Amino acid sequence: MTDTLSTMAEFRQVDLAIAAIKKIKERTTKLPPVLVEAYKESLESASSAIVRRFFEGLASQCPDALEYFIDVDKQKKIEDEKQTKLETIS
């Protein structure tokens, strides 16, 4: 029960973070770099469930903010590695 309450509290924090990001983005059209870095650092040590909730929530509520949190070069490298593995297996 304690784990469930803890997870629910963490999910609530994620939801509040997404709401804050959305409001800032709507008012200023961009996010302050210090805020983005703070959230990125938090995500690095978060559980996969929290990270998934963050990105799913952001994608549905403020999709244009995703670009601040996804390193396009890193994502491309991951996709290239997957493609190489698939080609090797074939």
Percentage of the chain exceeding pLDDT 90: 56
Alpha carbon distance 19, 62 (integer Å): 9
pTM score of the predicted model: 0.74
15-18, long-range: CB < 8 A, 24+ apart = 15/53, 15/57, 17/54, 18/54, 18/57, 18/58, 18/61, 18/62
pLDDT at residue 4, as a whole number:
67
The answer, yes or no, to whether residue 74 has pLDDT greater than 80, is no
Rounded mean pLDDT, 41-50: 88
The answer, yes or no, to whether residue 24 has pLDDT greater than 90, is yes
> Residue 89 in contact with residue 56, Cβ under 8 Å?
no
- Smallest CA-to-CA distance from 35 within 13, 56, 17, 60 is with 17
Domain range annotation of the chain: 2-89
The answer, yes or no, to whether residue 38 has pLDDT greater than 90, is yes
